[in-house]
Chain A
Amino acid sequence: MAHPTVPYLGKDLLGLEGLSREQITAILDTADNFKEISERPIKKVPVLRGKTIVNAFFENSTRTRISFEFAEKRLAADTVNISSTGSSVAKGETLVDTARNLEAMRIDMVVIRHGASGSAQFLGERIASNVINAGDGKHEHPTQGLLDLLTIRDHRGPLDQLKVCICGDVLHSRVARSNIHGLRKLGAQVAVCGPATLLPACVDELGVTVFRRIEEAIEWADVLNVLRLQLERMKGGFIPSLREYNRVFGVTRERVEAAPRDLLILHPGPMNRGVEIDSDVADGPHSVILQQVTNGVAVRMAVLYLLAGNAPEQSTAVRSTGSSE
């Protein structure tokens, strides 16, 4: 009897906007079964033996890069890390030239983080290797979105009609965008909450409810995903002060205790304790922040497994098929 198979994901993972509900569910189901590998005495399976993966992080990252590296190594891939500092990029080489030079060394996959929105798609269209977006500017951070979905599903089951509020700096957040696309495709009701200066002007077009007060958001929500307040926003004049932000929009113990139902609290990290989230909440019973980190490895293993080998022979530039919808 034929072994059941997973829906085809295409060559690259660029964002959740281009994936169907079935594709997202398939990734989450696969990740569920990859969790067990990290509990084994030998945390390694020979799935990507002989494959070479380049982690090209042109922006600072610790958590995501290490999570990808764990996932790659647990699938027995060979990995190479490059960053903008000290690389040819610092000497003025273009992104495509860097990638093509890497491809000339016979690589199979590129995990890219870059400050420019659309850079992952730009690269995916120009190289034959699989490209996985690990965060591109303000666009998307799909694996973070997927691990958030998996963590919510672990605790609340199917996401249909679940109420999820994304709190904080939605304007600059690629995590928020991936969350909104993924949550809506899985049938959740999505809201955002934050100062008007940190919400996109056309936020209504994203199909989300908007709350201006954190108390209202907490009263409405089953799940809060609290975004990191990027401290450089202070200099941009988006908020008067960190202290005021915490007073008006911070997720504090008092606010969480006043919630009408058992809230689930997520945060993509790194946290600014005492700004967007208080330590009592971050370390408290409602928080699943560390489980998000654990799930991150399983989700990335699933994505690597499902994409590997979907690329054509090298030297043929291809365009990702994207959505199957």
Chain B
Amino acid sequence: MAEPQRRTLMDAAEVERVLAGMAKEIVRVTGGRDLLLVGIERRGVQLADRIARAISGAGGEAPATGSLDITLYRDDLMSVGPRPVVGQTRLPTGGINGRHLVIVDDVLYTGRTVRAGLDELADFGRPARISLAVLIDRGERELPIQADVVGRRVEVPRGGRVEVLVPEVDGSLGVELVSPEAAG
């Protein structure tokens, strides 16, 4: 069996540049006031923190950040085999009612993760508006969900996947395309 092939789609400098562009676009789309960036565990959380720093670094109002672990809202939870590790959801103590939330995730693919995130947020309150920002949109949606802010759109070969790496989890920053194993 051949090893799956990995190809760098974006290096650290390019990810930083794309995140800075996303930060500007988020401010443009939302007005940039009283923002709450909610990262989806795991890597969406680190991306949300970086976007928040980019917004305040560019002179904007520093957004609040939170995290969303959607494990318990997955629609395949009872059929995925071994139980997924449950992470923690952290939202501001003041709640989310009436606020403008931006869900931040690393890769938008089927849309099921975002659907789970929306369901979970509904259990915490009624935001005025929810937008979606993703670093990578790889298409192939299974639900009618689209992002408001996209870092980059990529096409992925059948059976392949996109992996976003963040230093806090993976030790480096970047985006890699992992192609399926060649038939052995």
The reply on A92 being an interface residue by CB < 8 A is: no
Decide if A62 is an interface residue (CB 8 Å cutoff): no
Per the bound structure, the CA–CA distance linking A1 and B161 in Å amounts to: 8
CB distance from B180 to the nearest CB of A (A): 15
A161 to chain B, nearest CB (A): 27
Which partner residue on chain A sits nearest B41 by CB separation? A3
Q: Are A45 and B72 in contact (CB-based, < 8 A)?
A: yes
CA distance A34 to B86 in the complex (A): 8
Interface residue B95 (Cβ < 8 Å from any Cβ of A): yes
Query: Provided the pairs A6-B82, A33-B88 are in contact, do residues A44 and B77 lie with their beta carbons within 8 angstroms?
Result: no
| B85 A4 Cβ-Cβ under 8 A | yes
Report B80-108 CB contacts with A as 1/0, cut-off 8 Å: 01111111110000010000000000000
- The distance from the CB of A41 to the nearest CB of chain B, in whole angstroms, is 7
Q: Is the CB of A46 within 8 A of B119?
A: yes
Give Cα A34–Cα B83 distance, bound, in whole angstroms. 14
Question: In the complex, A5 Cα to B71 Cα: how many Å?
Answer: 11
Select one of B81, B82, B86, B95 contacting A33, CB under 8 A. B86
A97-105, A256-264, A301-309: which lies at the interface:
A301-309
Mask: chain A, 1-36; 1 = CB below 8 Å from B; 0 = not: 101111110000000000000000000011001101
Known: A46-B73, A47-B77. A40 touches B124 (CB 8 A): yes
Q: Quick check: is B125 within 8 A (CB to CB) of the other chain?
A: yes
The answer to whether B85 touches A30, judged by C-beta atoms less than 8 angstroms apart, is yes
Bound: A49/B180 CA distance, A: 35
Pairs across A and B, CB under 8 Å, 20 listed? A4-B84, A4-B85, A5-B81, A5-B84, A5-B85, A6-B83, A6-B84, A6-B85, A8-B82, A34-B86, A37-B72, A41-B123, A42-B123, A42-B124, A44-B123, A45-B72, A45-B123, A47-B77, A305-B83, A309-B78
User: How many of A's residues come within 8 Å of B, CB to CB?
Assistant: 24
Q: A3 near B85 (CB under 8 angstroms)?
A: yes
When the two chains form their complex, are residues B125 and A306 in contact, meaning their CB atoms are under 8 A apart? Answer: no
A8→B82 CA distance, assembly (Å): 6
Once the chains bind, are B72 and A41 in contact (CB under 8 Å)? no
Q: Give the one of A5, A30, A40, A45 with max B CB within 10 A.
A: A45
Q: Which residue of the partner chain A has the closest CB to B120? A: A45
Q: Tell me whether A1 and B163 are in contact (CB under 8 A).
A: yes
A contact residues vs B (CB 8 Å cutoff): 1, 3-8, 29-30, 33-34, 36-37, 40-42, 44-47, 305-306, 308-309
Chain B contacts for A6, CB-based, 8 A: 82-85
CA distance A3 to B82 in the complex (A): 10
Contact between B86 and A308 (Cβ–Cβ < 8 Å)? no
A34 to B84, CA, bound (A): 13
- Residues of chain A with a CB closer than 8 A to B83's CB: 5-6, 30, 305-306
Closest chain B residue, CB of each to CB of A1: B163
Whether A3 pairs with B73 at a CB distance below 8 angstroms is no
On chain A, the residues within 8 Å of B79 by CB distance are 309
In this complex, what residue of B is CB-closest to A51? Answer: B78
How far apart are A108's CB and chain B's nearest CB, in angstroms?
A: 10
In the complex, residue of chain B having the shortest beta-carbon distance to the beta carbon of A7: B82
Task: Check if B82 sits within 8 Å of A5, measured CB to CB.
Answer: yes
Residues of A within 8 A of B72 (CB): 37, 45-47, 305
Residue in contact with B124 in the complex, picked from A5, A29, A41, CB distance below 8 Å: A41
Contact with A along B110-138 (1 / 0, CB 8 A): 00000000011001110000000000000
Contact partners of A8 in chain B: CB under 8 A: 82
- Which residues of A have CB within 8 Å of B89? 36
Residues of B within 8 A of A45 (CB): 72-73, 120, 123
- B84:A308 contact, CB within 8 angstroms: no
Chain A residues closer than 8 Å to B87, beta-carbon distance = 33
CB of A40 within 8 A of CB of B123, answer yes
Does B125 contact A41, Cβ atoms closer than 8 Å?
yes
Q: What 15 new A-B contacts, CB under 8 Å, besides A3-B71, A45-B123, A309-B79?
A: A1-B161, A3-B84, A4-B85, A5-B84, A6-B83, A6-B85, A30-B83, A30-B86, A33-B69, A33-B86, A33-B88, A42-B123, A45-B120, A46-B73, A305-B72
